[in-house]
A and B are shown apart, each in its own frame.
Chain A
Amino acid sequence: MEEQIIKHITGESLFVNDIAEPNDFLTGDIFYSSKAYAEIKKYDISKAKSYPGVYAVLSYKDIPGINQMGPVINDELCLAEDKVTFIGQAIFLIAAINRETAIEAKKLISIEYEELEPVLSIEDAIKKNTLMHPERKIERGNIEEGLKTSTHIIKGTLKTGAQEHWYLETQTTLAMSGEGNEMKIFSSTQHPSETQEITAKVLGINKNQVEVENRRIGGAFGGKETQANHTATWAALLCKATGRPVKIHLFRDDDQIITGKRHPFLINYTAGFNEEGIINTYDVELNSDGGAVTDLSLAILERAMLHADNAYYIPNIRIIGKVYKTNHLSNTAMRGFGAPQAVAAIENIIEMIARYLKKDSAEIRRKNFYKTDNNNITHYGQKVENNRLDFIYEKIYKSSEYILRKKSIDEFNEQNKYFKKGISLTPVKFGISFTTSFLNQAGALVIIYRDGTVLVNHGGIEMGQGLNIKIRNIAACEFGLDKERIKIAPTNTSKIPNTSATAASTGSDLNGMAVKIAIDKIKKRLMKFAADIFNSDNYDRKTFYDDIIFHKNFIIDSANPDRKISFTELVERAYINQISLFDTGYYRTPNIWFDRVKGTGKPFHYYVFGMAVSEILLDVLTGEIKILRTDILHDPGRSLDENIDLGQVTGGFIQGSGYCTTEDIKWDKEGNLLNHSPDTYKIPTIDDIPVDFRVELLKDFPDQNPDTIRKSKAVGEPPFLLAFSVWLAIKYAISSICKHTKEPEFSIPATNENILQSIEKLINF
């Protein structure tokens, strides 16, 4: 059993909120804006300041450094100054002896706003043209010519909603000051280096004074990539102001009100295709609701633009990308990072084409897939290598008995009025690497102690994806040691500096490789030393350095297996002989680049492929759906750990199915988030998983994999997109109500509410 798992199941695992606090610690809290867009005319914090048990109430005026926390673009204030631009924007910070006192103090703060007219929807933003940054375009071929030569043309609009990450552990920070300017921060962050950087900037101190540490986080899904910086910086400000340790553990509702969500998109499209259903032209405009500040919106839009094709070769293609500023909270990274929205659009179009041509949608998908020898270049010029689309399709088409089931579904729909079924097969092709190429780097520090135990430091964050289990396995394997001898250290900016976020599914690709490189350096020295030891024994046969292997806690001359020495003994002797027992590893993904101006390049190290077939049952009268069966076949390369990868695929799919069905974010007319707790924001429960759920990993290509750590592939994000099989199966069931003669109105999420309203427009009860 894995050590990490044992800790979880015995309740030993410590999250930031579980770290024993120093006795004098204070609780931090946030007073945030209740207006979507307003000028702050007046405020009074004096009563709150003098409330017993309150140690600090801070405004932007109390910020010692720069009042700025934008991760890419400097357009995000740490604390509001004279204006607020969304509900949930922090204005004041409070430190008190406990939460209760902080809440009482908050009530004593008075503030006067003068309201301005907010922008509260993407439609409104488009109307008022509140573009956040210049629009972007990626284009290949000729749209006008393409449409002229298309036999059929369809146009439409797709709306996709926001999604709340709903990590179980809300944003948490414990900040403690040290000597002078030193600040130690335990933060539930996916990106310790950025948390360090922004905290230092806001505190006005050098980065070398700030140490950010994190052992594990209770789920993240992108929601702690930039959004953890806020809590950390706020706690650090309060800590600095009071001289006492400060903890902020966001209350669930506050977390949902303050922190960003998945970007809602409004997608306008035109597609031209022939009688066969082969798409020849695709013209699409991706409009995204960036919220009040930029955050990662540009990178998210870029990934959306690079995934607008999903698995399909389209000769004439034009993708326009626009991010609009609204008075919503700052939308941010979430699993898939823009790709799901764009992929939903093209997958929906395929279903529309199928309905239009009265053909099967899976068949249309297959015809449009990227091919191996030709039609294999994406719209941004990267060749789709190791393409497994056709292979996976054939396999899952058969194993899921797609065609047979579809037939029986059609029969069922003929015979039933108030219950309908639907089925859909959808693929994913997902590019792996940060599209900002320089981010694809990682570091590691591997240490062997004199007792023969190993401590591995790397820059990645364990957030449930099993990164540390994978890294430990890599280290154990490379050193030929029992896993029990390997410990993974908490991630710490003082150990591994200048790291990238654990994001874009790259955690084990980048950090795994960095760890291996560090280990290789140490091993090289130990191998040389071992060879010297073996040769000093005056054997007639010389031990060659290249023949040394690390196996089952021993160092062995593989050419002369009787020559061996235990790892522990070798380490001790190496120490005595003044040979270094630790080293760093540094890795950068090779040969990737992307020219943003031209919209071309090779932004991805490789692609991940997968497919799913889902069948659903729809209650026409209540709009409720049940996923009856899902088959998934997913490509993890040569899996680093099949159990973990299966878990990622299963969990990603269910998170995606929540996005497609029950996870609904509504705002009222004033810009208040209505679904700010699990009372009204509904993520899937165990009852919502497919009744028959078959998840399988593709194992047919053990050797034809990219040059990655142990030939594995990233697995975090791509399975999320397989949930569109559920979404489109629902659409099939709806459209069967009018025998597939009309195109139902359809959006994300397909809540029972949206389904009922769609059905209402199709028939008259």
Chain B
Amino acid sequence: MENSSSNSIRFLLNDLLYKIDFSDNKSQIKPTTTLLNFLRTQTNLKSVKEGCAEGDCGACTVVMGETEHNEIHYTPVNSCLIFLPMINGKQIITTEYLSEKKDDKQILHPIQSALAETYGTQCGYCTPGILMTMFAIYKNYSDPDEKTIKKLLSGNLCRCTGYLPMLEAVRKSSKNREDKFSQKEKATIEILKNIKNHSTISIKQNSYSYHIPCSLNDALDIYNNNPEAIIINGATDTAIRQTKNNEKLFNIIDISHIEELKYFRKDNDNYYIGAGLCIQKLLGFLKDTITSLYDTLEYFGSWQIRNLATIGGNVSTASPIGDTLPVLISLKSSVKLKNITKERIINIEDFIIDYRKTSLKKDELLTEVIIPKTPDNNIIKSYKVSKRKELDISTVSTCFNLSLGANNVINEIIITYGGMAKIPCRAKSTEKFLTGKKWCKENIKEAGKILFNEFEPISDARAEAMTRKIICRNLLTKFWSENQN
């Protein structure tokens, strides 16, 4: 139990091994210090910039290296949303480390040369973040197509260039994955193996406590003794409470190191998704399994966010505009909740009880999302409408699950909307009206009228209530128009 209850974390920052001891009560570094603030105040790595402190601009992007099957898996993440202990046992790479000086000559990484040659940098402020995402593309994709590049880079805002040169730079450079990091990979893996914790780390500093359990049982045990703790995994939602609302998060249980919660399984009846599986990895499983969830999650946050955020986190926040919930509800999903003594499985509709409130008890963790397999001939489709397509929160989102019988009569239709009420909500009047009716234009038009008045959404920064009503109604028309035959 080398690390157990020890007050310190270890990580590799570029090629330097760091140990941070939180025992020093006077230290400027707290357990909830973000990686961004750590880099900017405690190191010389000033290439990492703060652009928004909420994960919406990508200027603070760094690449996180983790060992997986004897390889290093490189993912870009927003350092503004990461609490320091989250990087325990991992490597963090910044732009400073991409190039190296040899005999007074600067040897650039292929992506750096490409970006320079295409003039893909103007003011330079977003550039280090862009390079980090480009570096992760370089390490993960060979010759990606334009659509893929755009998807992966849309978490990095640039206000100067109009992006065209970046597209070209990635196209030019991402032909192979070899670079100086490949040469050092074996040695780096050894270091990372050495610093990985295999038992719980419990950090205590003044009023702060931060636990990093490595197993579900440990997590439940800690939670049982500490029911007021905030549970985080990717922290993409929770971190904002600190960075934007200046809340002090004194008591955290970080379940991001629990490997046993990161899985996707299936049997004859169901799909089972571990709550700790990040959205990006989940996407990899969904393409050929649950396409409606895939379609929505493709537009979930940015690549950086998808690498941190988890399905368990998205479900637990119970946000009315969360991306997963309308789909999960329409698919009749349920969730598994566990405490130290027992587990229970409840329908996801019963799980969400109010605005950002769930039926989770004070010692329970959401451990699994269970999605039943739907009959092959069901027509299932999800839509997410937002002001901007990429990296935006939905104005309205929805998922339709339609089962047609003989003569095109609707056996069952489940319609769930996000963004229309204080919780993700089924359009029950509309469902009722359509059930037993023919799947035809006239009925859709009538249903549209019911739907238009079914919800009383709010007006906010994203859209007016009237707009939400229009979108809500139109999405039914859209679903019909795409599936009228």
- Contact B158–A168 (Cβ < 8 Å): yes
Do A756 and B471 form a contact, CB below 8 Å, given A11-B46, A168-B157?
yes
Residues of A contacting B12 in the complex (Cβ-Cβ under 8 angstroms): none
* A759 (CB) vs chain B CBs: closest residue: B470
List B residues 442-480 near A (Cβ within 8 Å): 445, 448, 460-464, 466-467, 470-471, 473-475, 477-478
* B56 (CB) vs chain A CBs: closest residue: A678
B187 within 8 A of A: no
- Contact B478–A622 (Cβ < 8 Å): yes
- Contact B389–A624 (Cβ < 8 Å): yes
B319 within 8 A of A: no
B95 within 8 A of A: yes
List B residues 148-168 near A (Cβ within 8 Å): 149-151, 153-167
Of A214-222, A361-369, A376-384, the one contacting chain B is A214-222
Task: State in angstroms the CA–CA spacing of A98 and B40 once bound together.
Answer: 13
B279 within 8 A of A: no
Main secondary structure of the interface of B (DSSP, over half): loop
- Name the distance in Å between A21's Cβ and chain B's nearest Cβ: 10
Residues of B contacting A100 in the complex (Cβ-Cβ under 8 angstroms): 246
B244 within 8 A of A: yes
Task: State in angstroms the CA–CA spacing of A466 and B165 once bound together.
Answer: 15
Task: State in angstroms the CA–CA spacing of A678 and B244 once bound together.
Answer: 12
- Contact B98–A10 (Cβ < 8 Å): yes
Task: State in angstroms the CA–CA spacing of A662 and B462 once bound together.
Answer: 11
A757 within 8 A of B: yes
Task: State in angstroms the CA–CA spacing of A463 and B160 once bound together.
Answer: 9
Task: State in angstroms the CA–CA spacing of A463 and B159 once bound together.
Answer: 11
* A253 (CB) vs chain B CBs: closest residue: B244
Of A228-236, A687-695, A702-710, the one contacting chain B is A687-695
Task: State in angstroms the CA–CA spacing of A728 and B123 once bound together.
Answer: 30
B403 within 8 A of A: no
B94 within 8 A of A: yes
- Contact A217–B123 (Cβ < 8 Å): yes
- Contact A1–B390 (Cβ < 8 Å): no
Do A168 and B165 form a contact, CB below 8 Å, given A621-B478, A679-B54, A765-B448?
no
- Contact A753–B464 (Cβ < 8 Å): yes
B143 within 8 A of A: no
Task: State in angstroms the CA–CA spacing of A662 and B463 once bound together.
Answer: 12
Of B113-121, B209-217, B249-257, B410-418, the one contacting chain A is B113-121
- Contact B162–A654 (Cβ < 8 Å): yes
A166 within 8 A of B: yes
- Contact B122–A647 (Cβ < 8 Å): yes
Residue in contact with B124 in the complex, picked from A13, A418, A650, CB distance below 8 Å = A13
A72 within 8 A of B: no
* A221 (CB) vs chain B CBs: closest residue: B159
Total residues of chain A contacting the partner, CB 8 A = 81
- Contact A10–B159 (Cβ < 8 Å): no
Residues of A contacting B471 in the complex (Cβ-Cβ under 8 angstroms): 622-623, 756
- Contact A10–B56 (Cβ < 8 Å): no
- Name the distance in Å between A488's Cβ and chain B's nearest Cβ: 14
- Name the distance in Å between B446's Cβ and chain A's nearest Cβ: 12
Do A9 and B388 form a contact, CB below 8 Å, given A677-B54, A756-B471?
no
Do A169 and B123 form a contact, CB below 8 Å, given A11-B95, A686-B167, A753-B464?
yes
A760 within 8 A of B: yes
Residue in contact with A621 in the complex, picked from B50, B155, B474, CB distance below 8 Å = B474
Residue in contact with A686 in the complex, picked from B57, B163, B244, B445, CB distance below 8 Å = B163
- Contact A678–B57 (Cβ < 8 Å): yes
A751 within 8 A of B: yes
- Name the distance in Å between B391's Cβ and chain A's nearest Cβ: 6
Q: Mark B113-155, 1 if CB is under 8 A from A, else 0.
A: 0011101011111111001000000000000000001110111
* B468 (CB) vs chain A CBs: closest residue: A753
- Name the distance in Å between B109's Cβ and chain A's nearest Cβ: 9
Interface centre among A624, A652, A683, A686 (most CB of B within 10 A): A686
Residue in contact with A674 in the complex, picked from B56, B126, B165, B461, CB distance below 8 Å = B461
- Contact B165–A647 (Cβ < 8 Å): yes
Which A residues are closer than 8 A to B by beta carbons?
1-2, 4-15, 17-18, 98, 100, 103, 165-170, 216-221, 249, 251-253, 417-418, 463-466, 621-624, 643-644, 646-647, 650-655, 662, 664, 666, 674-675, 677-680, 682-689, 693, 695, 751-753, 756-757, 760, 765
Given A10-B95, A168-B49, 11 other A-B residues pairs in contact with their CB atoms under 8 A? A15-B124, A218-B126, A221-B159, A644-B119, A674-B461, A675-B461, A679-B54, A684-B388, A686-B390, A688-B388, A753-B463
Q: What are 30 residue pairs bridging A and B, where the CB atoms are less than 8 Å apart in the complex?
A: A1-B116, A6-B116, A8-B121, A9-B131, A11-B95, A11-B96, A11-B98, A169-B51, A169-B125, A217-B123, A218-B124, A219-B125, A220-B123, A252-B50, A252-B51, A464-B123, A621-B475, A621-B477, A622-B385, A647-B119, A650-B161, A651-B122, A677-B56, A680-B461, A685-B154, A686-B156, A687-B389, A752-B395, A760-B470, A765-B445
8 nearest A-B residue pairs (beta carbon)? A11-B47, A464-B123, A218-B125, A8-B124, A650-B162, A464-B122, A654-B162, A11-B95
